[in-house]
Amino acid sequence: MARILIVDDSGYARRIHRGILEAAGHTVTDVSTGMGALESYSLEHPDLVLLDLSMEDLGGVQVLKTLREMDAAACVVVVSADIQRTTEQTVMANGARRFLAKPVSAETLVAAVTELATETAP
């Protein structure tokens, strides 16, 4: 199963997504800040990152850009309540592999992670 990093300033969202993904057999780490995401990614090299866009220190788009600079193969799924088409276009243009609208169902989240983990497996 995949090693997943959840990045979200909402403790509630982190707990919900963690529970869903751990129940599906994945190993999960979570952080609440953009800087925490960059540090955790650098140290742990997870298979996949679930990234929220709204955080206090660094915005999710900046985190996405920096992750892709650190590792061009970084697999990032943006999970956001900002469902504007331009937001989705921006994150996809900056290297996100998927854009999921909050609240995301357990089935949709697990399906996206499973699909991407299968695609990126060595």
Question: Is residue 1 assigned to a domain?
Answer: no
Question: Is residue 89 assigned to a domain?
Answer: yes
Question: Is residue 4 assigned to a domain?
Answer: no
DSSP for residue 4 = E
CB of 68 closer than 8 Å to CB of 74: yes
The boundaries of the domain holding residue 83 are: 9-120
Could you give the strand order of the β-sheet that contains 76-80, starting from the edge strand earlier in sequence?
27-31, 3-7, 48-51, 76-80, 98-101
Question: Is residue 3 assigned to a domain?
Answer: no
The pTM for the full model equals 0.94
pLDDT 10s digits, 62-116: 999 999 999 999 999 999 999 889 999 999 999 999 999 999 999 999 999 999 9
Q: What confidence score (pLDDT) does residue 56 get?
A: 84
Question: Is residue 26 assigned to a domain?
Answer: yes
pLDDT 10s digits, 2-61: 999 999 999 999 999 999 999 999 999 999 999 999 999 999 999 999 999 998 888 999
Q: What confidence score (pLDDT) does residue 121 get?
A: 60
Q: What's 96's domain CATH number? A: 3.40.50.2300
Q: Count the domains in the chain.
A: 1
Question: Is residue 2 assigned to a domain?
Answer: no
Q: In whole angstroms, what is the distance from residue 5 CA to residue 102 CA?
A: 17
Q: What confidence score (pLDDT) does residue 83 get?
A: 85
Provide the 3-class DSSP secondary structure of residue 2: coil
Residues 6+ apart with CB under 8 A from 85: none
